Amino acid sequence: MDYIADSLSILDEEGGDMFIGEISEKIKKTSAKLDALELNLLLSGKFDTLDAILEIHPGAGGTESQDWAQMLMRMYLRWAEKKGIKAEVIDLLQGDEAGIKSASILFSGSYVYGYLKSEIGVHRLVRISPFDSNNRRHTSFTAVLVYPQFKDNIEIDIKDDDIRIDTFRASGAGGQHVNKVSSAVRITHIPTNIVVSCQNERSQHKNKEKALNILKSRLMEREIVLQEKKLEGIIGDKREIQWGNQIRSYVLHPYKMVKDHRTSYEVFDVESILDGGIASFIKEYLMLKN
């Protein structure tokens, strides 16, 4: 800031365009830092500083919804790339023709859960279907779930009798290894019917370890939700996913617009949003909640 003030003073005295380029760049960087600081001030939730696991589940509609689910997955991966946040796809089930049937992604970085909790809910896409030879307009729905990734040392007692562990061959990319060895692990917690899986590691042992950590986080998050309901009587639509009750609509036809139905915030540059530019939507949501 001192550099900018001194440079402006020199410009005022000397005239001309000396330092204009540097000053402009400094202002942009300072503005970005102030925006980030303002956003972080809005992140005061108990678990906002934690990493997050984001799950994507397409709704009814077959290939249409599965393709939309893959578009959302790309959007979140691009968002993470732009912010310098580590993103690791820990489980992925490809669609039969196109898109994905489900995905679980671990995001690691500062305040990741605080950012991504704004994405919990149903996302609606309206477009001319690339899979419809008659070029008709289709509406697709995909649910996004986000929960905090608690540290490995959280105390959650999981009894051996309460879980069923299945192994299977990984279905994603990975060369010959995934076709020969059943290294992927799926764990079912029988009392709650929570199912988690991991297939991105080459070792079955590592996949099991990671899947257990995810299960612990799911059980911890479930306990928190139960306590909230018990103590405060809060149902919390942030965690209850209802098909058709969308939080955000992405319209590609007959006009272009992305609208968040919770904040009424709208953006008309749909391509930039689908390329990961969701920061403004996150900020509007956090401002609404604070």
Alpha carbons 96 and 271: distance in angstroms, whole number:
26
Classify the C-alpha dihedral 226-227-233-236 as positive or negative: negative
Task: List the one residue out of 198, 204, 165 whose CA is nearest residue 183.
Answer: 204
Instruction: Write down the pTM of the prediction.
Output: 0.74
Range with the poorest average pLDDT among 147-156, 170-179, 204-213, 250-259: 170-179
CA 142 to chain centre: 12
Q: Above 60 in pLDDT, residue 176? A: no
Tally of residues, the chain: 290
The arithmetic mean of pLDDT across residues 125-139, rounded, is 89
Cα 98–99–100 angle (5° rounding)? 125
d(CA 159, CA 252): 49
Please, which pLDDT band fits residue 14 given cuts at 50, 70 and 90? low
Please, what is the end-to-end C-alpha distance for the chain in angstroms? 29
Task: Give the model's pLDDT for residue 15.
Answer: 55
Express each pLDDT in 32-88 by its tens digit.
677 767 777 789 888 899 999 999 999 888 899 999 999 999 999 999 999 999 999
Confidence of residue 7 (pLDDT cuts 50, 70, 90): low
Measured CA distances, 155 to 33, 53, 98, 158, 219 (Å): 37, 19, 40, 9, 11
Asked if residue 242 has pLDDT above 60, the reply is no
- Whole-Å CA distances, 93 to 49, 131, 183: 29, 20, 15
**Residue 115 is which amino acid?**
Y
Cβ atoms of 162 and 215 within 8 Å: the answer is: no
